Copies of this chain bind each other. A is one copy, B any other.
Amino acid sequence: MEQTRGRFALCPRWIVPVVPEGELVENHAVVVEDGRISEIPPLADLDSDWVGIERIDLPGRALIPGLINCHTHSAMTLLRGLADDLPLMVWLGEHIWPAEQRWVGPDYVRDGTELALAEMLTGGTTCFNDNYFFPDVTAACAVRAGMRAVIGLPIINMSTAWADSESACFERGLSVHQDLMSEPLVSTAFAPHAPYTVSDAGFERIATLAEEMDVPVHLHLLEAAGEVENSIEQTGLHPLDRLDRLGLLGPRLLAVHMTQLDDQDMDRDARHGVHVLHCPASNLKLASGLCPVEALDRRGVNIAIGTDGAASNNTLDMFAEMRLAALLAKGVSGDPETIPAPRALSMATIQAARALGLEEAIGSIEPGKQADLAAVDLDWQSTGPVHNVISQLVYATDRRQVTDVWVAGKRLVADRELLALNRDQLKEQARRWQQKLKPS
């Protein structure tokens, strides 16, 4: 149960490096030194070239890059199942917002985020792109647990428990950014809520600051029907035109959902290098619309997968999300060859890293990259026979087959045991919030 640092070699049955896409490596080890992948030598060379190295055998396991949950609201685990099967505005207006208004604060965010980190880590997710209030608390949870995160600095033109105005959002957000500068695992992004809740001045300031600070802009965009019409009515502009005019359309923009796109919009996204963060379960559950993944992928748009928050999914299960993304893209496009298993895995790893500006650090198993890794047990009767490892990972694997997880070389899950957080305490936290949120 050691939390290994230093120098060690992982010896799985298979390595799925993700880059190059579709490749499978056998009979090799992944050597980790000081948190990074230093080399991927043949197993046969390990004893001679790496004398005395600590060896961690992973029989029957596929070693994959840690999954990256590219859009979530971690703390919303506390609202999981609080209100389901409702129209978006009833769900938000009568259930989610009132609960948030009453309860959101540092304690809530800490407890909810810890629950989320446990769920994500044990399911093979090593990095998440978050968007919620009290980002300082979310960041502190990630740092404590040793998990990698991109923490959204929320910008919203209304009063919330976090900040009482748009300008206060900037003030508090910039201070959080400053405080996190020295954290090796945590970085930030601007997280303007949506086009309809952020002012022109706010967007312009984000565009300028994001450039200066070299951070992404993480935005709910074209999530549901009506957004285009409302924007034209209120601002005279299509949301993409407005964002373009305000300097936001570009490779820093991480556009979440994107279910309301025509061909021109997609061409434009491709031209500007906008990344699409695709949340298939949430889009279906809220009946928001269907993201045209096949058409975007065909245009070369970089697509990454996210679970959204647990209130609209209702899990943070990236294996389920990857599978759903691969299946749904086929059904929506009518093309069974689109988003094959290796591409779906890329969308949950290297393409997510690319969106987050972390492509040099994470998202694949390559020498020089951070040792963010997950071992997945395929030696189980329900994933046999293993005719094709990547197909099994995407179409047939449960997240509970994840046995071991490392972030920057530190082992956070060992043999299915979560080392990073205390499970009993988490269950107790969940129980306490259940009583508060929905007294029975």
Mark A residues whose CB is within 8 Å of B: 77-82, 84-88, 91, 115, 118-119, 122-123, 281, 283-287, 289-290, 310, 313-317, 320, 323-324, 327-328, 330-331, 333-337, 340-341, 379-388, 391-392, 395-396, 398-400, 423, 426-427, 430-431, 433-434, 437-438
Contacts and interface: CB of A to CB of B under 8 A. Distances in A.
A339 to B, nearest CB: 8
A54 to B, nearest CB: 29
A354 to B, nearest CB: 22
A395 B336 contact: no
11 contacts: A91-B336, A118-B381, A118-B382, A284-B327, A284-B330, A286-B330, A287-B330, A310-B396, A313-B396, A320-B323, A324-B324
Nearest to A60: B427
Contacts of A78: 385
Contact of A334 (B123, B287, B327, B396): B287
B84 A314 contact: no
Q: Which of A287, A313, A434 has most chain B Cβ within 10 Å?
A: A287
A399 B396 contact: no
Given A315-B396, A336-B285, A384 B427 contact: yes
A381 B287 contact: no
Q: Which of A82, A286, A289, A383 has most chain B Cβ within 10 Å?
A: A383
A359 to B, nearest CB: 25
Q: Which of A79, A341, A384 has most chain B Cβ within 10 Å?
A: A384
A415 to B, nearest CB: 15
Contacts of A328: 284, 328, 331
B423 A381 contact: yes
Question: 9 shortest A-B CB distances, which residue pairs?
Answer: A384-B430, A385-B434, A85-B340, A284-B331, A284-B327, A81-B391, A314-B395, A287-B336, A119-B382
